[in-house]
């Protein structure tokens, strides 16, 4: 379907109007009207709001966020500052802010950080409940990460996922009309592709994103898990060993040997250079291809994380915003989050992301934006299968520790390097037992 | 009125020439009296010493002593981000000794430090000896020698990352085109090889420091001594061992010790190139402590990892200070 037709069918304005009408809001008056309708509180002159965000992979996303923040400042008379920093710098910044009780009023959280920093975060139950009332329930995994104990400690606002980016042309050459639906099918197709000089690519080094995008979903897909729902370590199971055996076989038969040395960026480069035929990644490969390598973009499509005997899974480290407990401007911060998450503001920001992120509730799956480029549909659907690191155990500090120690990633990497799958699972068990002790 | 009150003071304490100054200037006199009171105080040696040392002491206390004491406290507490910690004795250190990743990091730190320092010393000495000769473009050579050391570590390491890239490594390209290898070498994909690469980059970056410092040492060696040794029939090798080396030994030791301390605490290079991977085979104390303290938010445990360095570094520093003091006596 052409882009134009999609636009005509459900234009953004029509969507907004319908959405607004459904909840009985005054959309016609534009942003000021909505703020007026909601009786945006005016704050004393000189009130400040400092927001810390990562630098998004999608530049337009930051531009739009900044525009909205400025708009909020104008409407409420608050002096708003938005600071964008590199993703890797968020952690030390959050730790020092909480410890010194000084810094930004709102800080972005990813992964399961709301659990890691819960003691330093203010409750945002009212904001989360308001979103639920308006847009429906959050995805389950989002609720699990956002709620610590009994309170919401972070407002979920976007879920960026990784699916398989793959070369349709090469897959067709080996007889695969679409991306394989199961891990076993992927192995068969992958082996044929590697024989033709087009291996699949997957990182097994130490970096936050891609290696974990393999380790968690594959373990779950085969029925393995680090801990059971009660937190008991159960990694050393025949399901995990099956997942390990599968990975080692796929490594030999279908994967590019470079993977052990890869971080989050290598597969992007390898894919765009044409040395691999498929890899797990966010939409960034496709976006860069569209801008710089249109020929590759044309033959690129996206496929779901394949199904294993236990089903289909994605590990999703969403984006959340938390209000810091030390902040003296908690009320303003809350008003900002409430305002930003409201449809008239959230919609243009969501659209600016162009499919790189999903909304935090299934409501946003219905957005017309998803019809602009049907190659992004797997991203839209991936959230339905989302889980958190440490699933099905509760998201916790312990799950974070297992993540930063790369226990699952290293379990796979060691098996690939020749450790017996049984021994690799046993090694992971020993490590996890120490963490979950 | 004011003039009248000040004038008698002026008459007592300043010379007649000054007392002739018109009244408005004389208003400044109460200020001019302060040195008169402070002066004798500052003339006492221990007071002056204290005053002069105070700024340095304040800086040392705030930026060195306080973080250090805090670090020690953290290492014996169960402090995590956002919660007050409580004293747990040596529990964190016990946990470290039971942690296979930590033990690997422990081993790596020593391997990394000793091999890299040895290579930096050997190559730095060779470079210094070469640079000590007269040749064309000597100044340019000496200056360009320092480049690896001047470029910010993160930037140069990123360049190395490209050279070691699994897909685009320039080394692989050269070796393949020279017909020396048929499949690519995964420089950072194997624990031992990756450790070798880290050492290589560290040597590349740190060697100029050795070369330039040793060169400075070499230039203090009196050429007459070499001449005399030569006349006595000593060959080049003997002159190096018997004349040059003993004379530059103090500077050599200082450089080695400085470098060892810096290499021991290295972080950036490893964090950029491997982040401790693959399979936690290249962690050193610095990188592992960062992961635990920052990314797992376990400040106490992380501090105990980095403080494992302390006894060794203390030993190095004590030896260094003792040696320098002995040499200067």
CB contact under 8 A, B186 and A91: no
**What span, in angstroms and rounded, lies between the C-alpha atoms of B325 and A309?**
71
- CB within 8 Å of B93: residues ≥ 6 apart: B75, B304, B308
Q: What is the pLDDT of residue A133?
A: 96
Mean pLDDT of chain B: 85
B83: nearest CB among A119, A260, A417 = A119
| ipTM reported for the complex surpasses 0.90 | no
pLDDT (mean) for B290-317: 89
Shared domain for A103 and A9, answered yes or no, is: yes
Q: Which residue of A has its CA nearest to B278?
A: A205
Q: Where in chain B is the domain with CATH 1.10.3720.10?
A: 91-328
Shared domain for A341 and A236, answered yes or no, is: no
Q: Which phi and psi (to 5°) does residue A52 adopt?
A: -115, 125
CB contact under 8 A, B81 and A94: yes
Shared domain for A177 and A85, answered yes or no, is: no
Of A362-366, A374-378, B243-247, the range with the lowest mean pLDDT is B243-247
CB contact under 8 A, A405 and B291: yes
- A406 phi-psi bin (left φ>0, alpha ψ -120 to 50, beta other): left
Question: Does the pLDDT value for residue A4 go beyond 80?
Answer: no
Please count the residue pairs, one from chain A and one from chain B, whose beta carbons lie less than 8 angstroms apart.
Answer: 118
Q: Which residue of A has its CA nearest to B79?
A: A99
- CB within 8 Å of A126: residues ≥ 6 apart: A334
pLDDT (mean) for B126-151: 88
Tell me whether residue A368 is in a domain. no
Is the dihedral angle over the CA atoms B207, B208, B212, B215 positive or is it negative? Answer: positive
Confidence (pTM): 0.83
Shared domain for A24 and A103, answered yes or no, is: yes
Domain of A55, in residue numbers: 3-153+318-352
Q: What is the pLDDT of residue A45?
A: 84
Q: What is the pLDDT of residue B318?
A: 87
pLDDT (mean) for B212-223: 91
pLDDT (mean) for B219-224: 90
Confidence bin at A18 (pLDDT 50/70/90) = very low
Shared domain for A64 and A101, answered yes or no, is: yes
Contact A201, A194 (CB under 8 A): no
Kindly list the residues of chain A whose beta carbon comes within 8 Å of any beta carbon in chain B: 91-92, 94-95, 98-99, 116-120, 204-207, 256-263, 266, 269-270, 273, 275, 397, 400-401, 404-406, 409-410, 413-414, 417, 430-431, 434
Shared domain for A219 and A332, answered yes or no, is: no
Pick the residue of B73, B100, B105, B166 with the most A CBs within 10 A to test the interface with A by mutation: B166
Identify the three-state secondary structure at position A206.
coil
Shared domain for A114 and A196, answered yes or no, is: no
Question: Does the pLDDT value for residue B271 go beyond 80?
Answer: yes
Shared domain for A233 and A139, answered yes or no, is: no
Q: What is the pLDDT of residue A136?
A: 96
Tell me whether residue A383 is in a domain. no
Q: Could you give the percent of chain B with pLDDT greater than 90?
A: 53
Cα–Cα distances in angstroms (integers) from residue A243 to residues A214, A240, A249, A310, B171, in the given order: 11, 5, 10, 11, 35
Tell me whether residue A336 is in a domain. yes
Closest CA to A367 of A2, A30, A10: A10
Shared domain for A119 and A233, answered yes or no, is: no
Shared domain for A134 and A17, answered yes or no, is: yes
DSSP annotation of A43: -
Mean pLDDT of chain A: 90
B278: nearest CB among A117, A257, A261 = A261
Shared domain for A223 and A89, answered yes or no, is: no
CB contact under 8 A, A401 and B298: yes
Cα–Cα distances in angstroms (integers) from residue A173 to residues A196, A199, A280, A304, in the given order: 9, 13, 21, 20
**What span, in angstroms and rounded, lies between the C-alpha atoms of A286 and A375?**
9
Q: Which phi and psi (to 5°) does residue A12 adopt?
A: -60, -40
**What span, in angstroms and rounded, lies between the C-alpha atoms of B7 and B26?**
8
Kindly report, residue by residue over B162-191, the tens digit of the pLDDT: 999 988 899 999 999 999 998 889 999 999
Tell me whether residue A373 is in a domain. no
Kindly report, residue by residue over A263-284, the tens digit of the pLDDT: 888 899 999 999 999 999 999 9
CB contact under 8 A, A400 and B294: no
Shared domain for A199 and A302, answered yes or no, is: yes
pLDDT (mean) for A180-184: 97
CB contact under 8 A, B186 and A261: yes
Q: What is the pLDDT of residue B95?
A: 93
Kindly report, residue by residue over B13-25, the tens digit of the pLDDT: 444 444 444 444 4
Number of domains in chain A: 2
Q: What is the pLDDT of residue B141?
A: 86
**What span, in angstroms and rounded, lies between the C-alpha atoms of B220 and B216?**
7
Tell me whether residue A358 is in a domain. no
**What span, in angstroms and rounded, lies between the C-alpha atoms of B293 and B80?**
8
Q: Which residue of B has its CA nearest to A205?
A: B278
- A388 phi-psi bin (left φ>0, alpha ψ -120 to 50, beta other): beta
**What span, in angstroms and rounded, lies between the C-alpha atoms of A305 and A314?**
7
Q: What is the pLDDT of residue A263?
A: 84
Kindly report, residue by residue over A183-199, the tens digit of the pLDDT: 999 999 999 999 999 99
Kindly report, residue by residue over B42-98, the tens digit of the pLDDT: 888 888 899 999 999 999 999 999 999 999 999 999 999 999 999 999 999 999 999
Q: What is the pLDDT of residue A7?
A: 37
A260: nearest CB among B189, B295, B296 = B189
Helix H segments across A77-224?
87-100, 113-116, 125-135, 140-146, 168-173, 183-195, 210-221
Looking at CA atoms only, how far is residue B51 from chain A in angstroms?
31
Kindly report, residue by residue over A383-418, the tens digit of the pLDDT: 999 999 999 999 998 998 899 889 999 999 999 999
Confidence bin at A6 (pLDDT 50/70/90) = very low
Contact B66, B60 (CB under 8 A): no
CB contact under 8 A, A273 and B168: yes
CATH number of the CATH domain containing A66: 3.40.190.10
**What span, in angstroms and rounded, lies between the C-alpha atoms of B267 and B153?**
10
Q: Which residue of B has its CA nearest to A275?
A: B167
- CATH number among 3.90.1150.10, 1.10.1740.10, 1.10.3720.10, 3.40.50.620, domain B91-328: 1.10.3720.10
CB contact under 8 A, B188 and A406: no
Q: What is the pLDDT of residue B309?
A: 75
């Amino acid at each position: 379907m052409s882009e134009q037709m999609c636009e005509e069918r459900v234009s953004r304005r029509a969507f907004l109007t319908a959405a607004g009408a459904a909840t009985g809001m005054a959309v016609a008056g534009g942003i000021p009207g909505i703020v007026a309708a909601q009786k945006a509180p005016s704050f004393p002159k000189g009130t400040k709001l400092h927001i810390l965000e990562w630098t998004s992979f999608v530049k337009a996303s930051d531009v739009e966020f900044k525009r909205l923040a400025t708009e909020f400042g104008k409407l409420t008379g608050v002096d708003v500052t938005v600071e964008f920093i590199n993703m890797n710098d968020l952690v030390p910044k959050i730790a020092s802010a909480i410890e010194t009780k000084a810094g930004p009023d709102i800080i972005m959280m990813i992964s399961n950080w709301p659990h890691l920093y819960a003691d330093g975060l203010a409750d945002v139950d009212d904001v989360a409940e308001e979103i639920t009332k308006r847009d429906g329930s959050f995805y389950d995994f989002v609720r699990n990460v956002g709620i610590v104990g009994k309170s919401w400690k972070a407002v979920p606002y976007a879920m960026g996922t990784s699916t398989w980016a793959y070369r349709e042309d090469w897959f067709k050459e080996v007889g695969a009309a679409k991306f394989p639906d199961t891990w076993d099918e992927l192995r068969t197709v992958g082996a044929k592709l590697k024989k033709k000089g087009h291996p699949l690519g997957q990182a097994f080094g130490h970096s936050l994103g891609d290696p974990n995008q393999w380790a968690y979903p594959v373990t779950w897909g085969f029925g393995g898990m680090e801990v059971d729902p009660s937190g008991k370590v159960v990694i050393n199971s025949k399901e995990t060993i099956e997942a390990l055996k599968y990975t080692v076989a796929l490594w030999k038969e279908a994967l590019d040997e470079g993977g052990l040395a890869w971080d989050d960026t290598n597969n992007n480069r390898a894919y765009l250079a044409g040395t691999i035929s498929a890899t797990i990644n966010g939409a960034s490969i496709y976006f860069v291809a569209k801008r710089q390598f249109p020929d590759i973009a044309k033959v690129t499509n996206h496929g779901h994380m394949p199904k294993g005997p236990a089903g289909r899974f994605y590990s999703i480290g969403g984006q959340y915003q938390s209000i810091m407990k030390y902040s003296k401007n908690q009320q303003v911060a809350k008003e900002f989050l409430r305002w930003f998450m409201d449809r008239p503001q959230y919609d243009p920001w969501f659209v600016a992301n162009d499919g790189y992120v999903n909304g935090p509730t299934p409501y946003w799956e219905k957005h017309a934006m998803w019809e602009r480029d049907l190659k992004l549909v797997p991203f839209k659907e991936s959230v339905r299968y989302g889980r958190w690191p440490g699933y099905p155990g509760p998201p916790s500090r312990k799950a974070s520790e297992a993540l930063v120690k790369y226990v699952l990633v290293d379990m796979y990497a060691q098996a690939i390097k020749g450790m017996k799958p049984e021994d690799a699972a046993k090694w992971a068990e020993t490590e996890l037992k120490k963490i979950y002790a | 009125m004011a003039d009248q009150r000040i004038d008698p003071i002026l008459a007592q304490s300043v010379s007649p020439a000054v007392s002739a100054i018109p009244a408005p200037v004389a208003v400044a006199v109460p200020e001019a009296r302060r040195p008169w009171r402070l002066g004798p105080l500052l003339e006492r040696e221990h007071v002056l010493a204290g005053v002069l040392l105070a700024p340095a002491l304040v800086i040392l206390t705030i930026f060195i002593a306080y973080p250090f004491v805090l670090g020690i406290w953290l290492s014996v507490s169960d402090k995590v981000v956002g919660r007050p910690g409580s004293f747990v004795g040596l529990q964190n250190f016990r946990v470290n000794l039971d942690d296979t990743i930590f033990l690997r990091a422990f081993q790596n730190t020593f391997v990394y430090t000793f091999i890299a320092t040895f290579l930096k010393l050997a190559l730095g000495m060779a470079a210094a000896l070469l640079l000590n000769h007269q040749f064309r473009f000597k100044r340019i050579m000496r200056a360009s020698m320092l480049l690896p050391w001047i470029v910010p570590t993160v930037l140069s390491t990123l360049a190395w990352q490209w050279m070691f890239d699994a897909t685009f490594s320039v080394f692989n390209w050269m070796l393949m085109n020279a017909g020396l290898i048929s499949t690519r070498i995964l420089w950072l994909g194997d624990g031992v090889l990756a450790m070798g690469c880290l050492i290589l980059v560290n040597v590349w970056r740190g060697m100029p420091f050795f070369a330039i410092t040793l060169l400075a040492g070499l230039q203090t060696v009196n050429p007459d001594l070499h001449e005399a040794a030569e006349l006595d029939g000593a060959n080049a090798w003997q002159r190096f061992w018997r004349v040059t080396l003993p004379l530059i030994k103090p500077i050599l030791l200082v450089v080695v010790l400085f470098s060892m301390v810096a290499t021991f605490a290295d972080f950036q290079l490893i964090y950029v190139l491997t982040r401790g991977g693959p399979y936690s085979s290249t962690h050193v104390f610095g990188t592992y402590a960062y992961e635990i303290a920052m990314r797992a938010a376990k400040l106490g445990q992380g501090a105990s990892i980095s403080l494992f360095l302390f006894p060794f570094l203390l030993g190095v520093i004590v030896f260094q200070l003792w040696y320098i003091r002995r040499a200067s006596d």
